[in-house]
Amino acid sequence: MTFDVERARFNMVEQQIRTWEVLDPQVLDLLFSVKREEFVPEAHRSLAFADLELPLGDGQLMWTPKMEARVLQSLAIKPGENVLEIGTGSGYFTALLAARGANVTSVEIDARRAALARARLARHGFARVRVEEGDGSRGFGRGSYHAIVLTGSTPVLSEAFEKQLAPGGRLFAVVGEPPVMKARLLRWDAPGAPTSTDLFETVVPPLINAPVPARFTF
């Protein structure tokens, strides 16, 4: 029997994503137009539409489809906005951000993953993306952004990210340590006074070099 890719994609959207409170029609449309299977590592391509985190090597994992969709909806990206992504991974979430019309700077600490993602994005025509090799666990560069997303968790969210938010900006990060982490959305509502909303609980691998809380010693 031939694998029906489009039926699998449809089932992913209807059975996983809609049921996780993702109802924005623009987000749902992107899940059909940006081909997830093209960004999944070859060894796991048959699982591209499964409700699973897929390994990218070195302990790093690709988000589940419902996580990608929920975060994209929460960030409410507008065309022309500047977005900073920390942790390029496979490049799929980068592609979704760019497909919303954003100008994306994506930072990947692993040279091999950065090169693979850069090639995939170029091959599929995502020209509004710049993949940088570097450590973004405590912010990156000096630019300001309308949206910032950390694709790995961080036990402590560096204050540097808040300083890089433009007025009206949004920041998504998974904050905390196992067994419970909070998926958190920060909004820049006034200078020095971001509002924070915890969206759901999850556990994802930490960013390499993510800051950790100070520990008491005796």
pLDDT in tens, 148-176: 999 999 999 999 999 999 999 999 999 99
CATH number of the domain residue 24 falls in: 3.40.50.150
Domain membership of residue 184 (yes or no) is yes
What's the CA gap between 126 and 122, in Å, rounded? 6
Mean pLDDT (whole number) for 171-197: 92
Domain membership of residue 123 (yes or no) is yes
Could you tell me the pLDDT band of residue 23, with boundaries at 50, 70 and 90?
very high
The number of residues in the chain equals: 218
Mean pLDDT (whole number) for 179-185: 96
pLDDT above 70 coverage of the chain, percent: 97
Both tokens of 154, joined, read 């961080």
Looking at the chain, the number of H-run helices and the number of E-run strands are 6, 9
Nearest alpha-carbon partner for 171 in 98, 81, 55: 81
Angle, helix 92-99 to helix 65-75, in steps of 10 degrees: 30
Q: Which residues fall within 8 angstroms of residue 184, CB to CB, at 6 or more apart?
A: 157, 172, 173, 174, 175, 196, 197, 198, 199
Domain membership of residue 212 (yes or no) is no
What's the CA gap between 101 and 201, in Å, rounded? 29
Could you tell me the pLDDT band of residue 25, with boundaries at 50, 70 and 90?
very high
Mean pLDDT (whole number) for 28-35: 97
pLDDT in tens, 101-147: 999 999 999 999 999 999 999 999 998 999 999 999 999 999 999 99
Task: Look up the pTM and report it.
Answer: 0.95
Both tokens of 26, joined, read 């623009």
Task: Specify the amino acid at residue 209.
Answer: N
Domain membership of residue 94 (yes or no) is yes
Task: Specify the amino acid at residue 72.
Answer: L
Domain membership of residue 218 (yes or no) is no
- Tell me how crowded residue 187 is: count the other CB atoms within 10 A of its CB: 15
Phi-psi region of 140 (alpha: psi -120 to 50; beta: other; left: phi over 0): beta
Domain assignment of residue 44, given as a range? 5-202
What's the CA gap between 203 and 182, in Å, rounded? 8
Structural domain total, the chain: 1
What's the CA gap between 54 and 64, in Å, rounded? 8
Domain membership of residue 192 (yes or no) is yes
Give yes or no for a contact between 173 and 157, defined as CB atoms under 8 angstroms apart.
Answer: yes
Domain membership of residue 25 (yes or no) is yes
Both tokens of 121, joined, read 């994005």
The pLDDT of residue 1 is above 70: no
For residue 185, list its beta bridge partners. Answer: 172, 197
Helix (H) or strand (E) segment spanning residue 89: none
